[in-house]
Structure 1
Amino acid sequence: MATPIEKQQPKPAAEEVPDRKLYVTAADAQAFAEGVLRGNGTPADHARTVAECLVAADLRGVDTHGVNRLPSYMARVRAGVLDAAAAPTLTQATPAAAQVDGRNTFGAVAGLAAVRAAVDMARVYGIGMVSVTHSNHFGMSAWLVQKALDEGMMSLVFTNSSPALPAWGARNKLLGVSPIACGAPGADDESPFILDMAPSVAARGKVYKAKRRGEKIPLDWALDAEGRPTDDPAAALEGVMLPMGGPKGSALSIMMDVFSGVFSGSAFAGHVTNPYDPSKPADAGHFLVAIKPDLFMSLADFRERMKYLYDRVVKESEPAAGVERIFFPGEIEQRTERERRSSGIPYVEAEVRALNEEANRVGASPIRVMEGSGESEEAGH
């Protein structure tokens, strides 16, 4: 049984603990997000899609792309720079290639339309490619990868994003912290291969999360506006994120811009609008490919080969000193999802308070927290 947080007895200011964990079931997080979205003029089907994308991120432990994104999304809707009601349109370029015009709606809505189109083409032609133009922040890339996996497909999912990284050797923001993601069915439906990573040392969303929670960040994540390493997330957001692997991370970010921005006709070369900036449309671009895994062999053979790869990586690799276990890409997030579906999604009190402020704006129901939330870790979480 869950209890609306607004019905809890208010604590004296001295007892407030902004970083205390409160737990929410996936179903309640979904219902809350849908309520806030619909209260801001989002059609029911769009609200369901966006909420599902955000909750999926929270379940997988990608808290930087979860329900806490709602306030920034809603600020853009209220400012009129994101069209919550727009329906994406599809234009077929060839039998196996198409473009989705997001028409400035939610990135998750445009991305879902794209992955569905790519899968439909791949069923017939073995491969389907979709470019997405005039879109917005589309949340966790792995959510779209999973949508392709649900249809038995391999996939590539690219996007560009607002300036955060310098070109290698420069100090000014130009390139996006744009994730590269891909997936393939595994030996069974419970063990797919899912890669979703940013080309920076850390995702920029982790810096926003640290700022929101009043936490420090590691000194190797970012530079401040003067080009100095910083552990202050606010200073990091005024400076630049650092690319992973030096020039390699920078080059990967440029690749994302080529395939997602240049190719789609969307903004590129530093002109995608930050999702926390409600001054103008984002004009982000995406690029998705769906591929049948049984193009060159039977599906059974493909899955057997994936099992062999998994076993070689996870079971037969010798752990280095201090390492207890080797993980396959996506496996840690899958474990986190199973755990959070059982124990709930953790949010801190400050985050719940900010989310409920969004609900209060539109008369939506507050987020519901699980009984026992806020107690010590030994009390059940």
Structure 2
Amino acid sequence: MNEPQRYTIASLEAFVESALLAGGADAPSARAATRAMMHGSRLGVDSHGVRLLPYYLSVIASGEVNGVPQLVVERGSGATAVLDADGAIGHLACYRAMEEAVDIATSQGIGAVTIRRMSHMGAAGAYALWAAEQGHIGLLVANSDAAVRLFDGRNAFHGTSPIAVGAPAPGQDRPWLLDMATSAIPMNRVLLYRSLGVALPDGVAVDETGRPTNDADAARVLSPLGAAQGYKGAGLAGLVEILSAPLTGMLLSTELSPMYGASTGKPRDMGGFALAINPAAFVGPEIYGAIMARYLANIRAAEPAEGASGKPMAPGDREWAVEAERLRNGVPVDPVSVAAFAELSARYGLTLPERA
């Protein structure tokens, strides 16, 4: 295994934001992208953390992402709105959409915002978590270029089609947080495993012949979540597709230009969907908080199965534990990204982040 290097969180965050500003992103775009990437790197979602910095700089430089977008929100009927992201980096578009959804839900009880003309948005959990921290249940989905086969299919059809949900947990240290791909593994995790020289788990990808592979270098198409019941993962991916393409007027996963490969220099016109629910519109805050507390306590008190690798955890528990460790010991960065950071430092005259 190729060992990562660890960097202090503060210096890594400063480096990432400085590089984005130097590479052509305006201040709101750089701040949003840095926030979302650091969310991934702090919480252990390394596939969607700071390792994506070189990619985002490349698509800003090519014109595939608009580094100085003019976002426009149009309120619709009832509790709806449409955000036109103007080709923005997806992090800015998703934070802005969730902010709008929460604003609507604060007065209307629920807020739904479709997102048009955005790009890759990184770790979807960043936006759902922000909503939960505002006291709302937040859901964020977005499609992406085809990388996942259908159940019993061979070729790429859906994107990794993430679903993220955050729910406030009054009286608890942190919210309930679910952030999952509908594929067995995200493509960016395959790329991370390539950099680290780590084998893939069983059943997560197939090679160019359609045969299952554990070789990250040989993986070409991902498998849907669920293994022998992969129709469930494919069905969830279909739900994300409906909310991200037909509902927004944007492209299907099979029609989107690939995230990796030669850039077209044109916006990818991806779609997404943000939903916020204000619990207080449905039930008294004390009732919601008490039931959430019991629910989380029951999960954490559940008896582990014989031979289990650990005890049952609520969604988000692993991430909070990883974050606490990384606040103490720094964020690990894979070798490919370490080399890329050195090149970016030389290109833009930036100070490299500090070793932890």
Q: Structure 1-normalised TM-score?
A: 0.88
> Where does 1:26-37 land on structure 2 (aligned, <5 Å)?
26-37=9-20
Q: Matches of 1:287 and 1:242 in 2, distance apart? A: 21
Q: Matches of 1:346 and 1:259 in 2, distance apart? A: 35
Residue 223 of structure 2 is aligned to residue 241 of structure 1: yes
Q: Matches of 1:262 and 1:49 in 2, distance apart? A: 27
Indicate the larger mover: 149-158 or 186-195.
186-195
> Mind listing any 5+ residue stretches in structure 1 that lack a counterpart?
1-17, 371-381
Shift of 1:143: 0.5
**In the TM superposition, what whole-angstrom CA distance separates every residue of 1:103-129 from its partner, at most 9, and x where no partner exists?**
111000000110110011011111110
Q: Matches of 1:226 and 1:213 in 2, distance apart? A: 24
> Mind listing any 5+ residue stretches in structure 2 that lack a counterpart?
none
Residue 307 of structure 2 is aligned to residue 322 of structure 1: yes
Q: Matches of 1:339 and 1:99 in 2, distance apart? A: 39
Choose from 226, 244, 267 the match for 2:251. Answer: 267
Local SS of the residue matching 1:233? coil
Indicate the larger mover: 289-298 or 28-37.
289-298
Cα RMSD (Å) of the superposition?
1.6
Amino acid across the alignment from 1:318: E
Shift of 1:351: 2.2
Q: Matches of 1:74 and 1:240 in 2, distance apart? A: 26
Amino acid across the alignment from 2:306: A
**In the TM superposition, what whole-angstrom CA distance separates every residue of 1:119-176 from its partner, at most 9, and x where no partner exists?**
1101111111000011111111110011101211111111111101122222111111
Choose from 193, 200, 204 the match for 1:221. Answer: 204
Shift of 1:22: 1.9
Q: Which has the larger radius of gyration?
A: 1
CA contact (8 A) 1:32 1:365 kept: yes
Choose from 348, 351, 354 the match for 1:365. Answer: 351
Partner of 2:87: 104
Q: Matches of 1:27 and 1:327 in 2, distance apart? A: 29
Partner of 1:185: 168
Partner of 2:139: 156
**In the TM superposition, what whole-angstrom CA distance separates every residue of 1:338-363 from its partner, at most 9, and x where no partner exists?**
11112111113442111221232222
CA contact (8 A) 1:40 1:77 kept: yes
Amino acid across the alignment from 2:143: N
Local SS of the residue matching 2:86? coil
Q: Matches of 2:145 and 2:50 in 1, distance apart? A: 20
Amino acid across the alignment from 2:113: V
Q: Matches of 2:158 and 2:57 in 1, distance apart? A: 25
Shift of 1:194: 0.8
Residue 277 of structure 2 is aligned to residue 294 of structure 1: no
CA contact (8 A) 2:13 2:38 kept: yes
Q: Matches of 2:244 and 2:214 in 1, distance apart? A: 31
Q: Matches of 1:63 and 1:84 in 2, distance apart? A: 24
Shift of 1:34: 0.6
Q: Matches of 1:218 and 1:290 in 2, distance apart? A: 35
Residue 326 of structure 2 is aligned to residue 340 of structure 1: yes
Amino acid across the alignment from 1:127: I
Equivalenced residue count is: 351
CA contact (8 A) 2:183 2:222 kept: no
Amino acid across the alignment from 1:121: I
CA contact (8 A) 2:8 2:353 kept: no
Partner of 1:281: 267
Q: Matches of 2:106 and 2:224 in 1, distance apart? A: 40
CA contact (8 A) 1:220 1:242 kept: no
Q: Matches of 2:100 and 2:71 in 1, distance apart? A: 12
Shift of 1:240: 3.6
Shift of 1:45: 2.4
Residue 150 of structure 2 is aligned to residue 167 of structure 1: yes
**In the TM superposition, what whole-angstrom CA distance separates every residue of 1:296-353 from its partner, at most 9, and x where no partner exists?**
22112101000111122221x2210023411001111011111111211111344211
Q: Matches of 1:156 and 1:343 in 2, distance apart? A: 31
Q: Matches of 1:302 and 1:219 in 2, distance apart? A: 40
Amino acid across the alignment from 1:363: G
Partner of 1:84: 67
Q: Matches of 1:151 and 1:240 in 2, distance apart? A: 35
> Where does 1:18-167 land on structure 2 (aligned, <5 Å)?
19-167=2-150
Q: Matches of 2:311 and 2:43 in 1, distance apart? A: 19
1:172 to 1:334, Cα distance in 2 relative to 1, 3 A: same
Q: Matches of 1:180 and 1:141 in 2, distance apart? A: 7
Amino acid across the alignment from 2:305: A
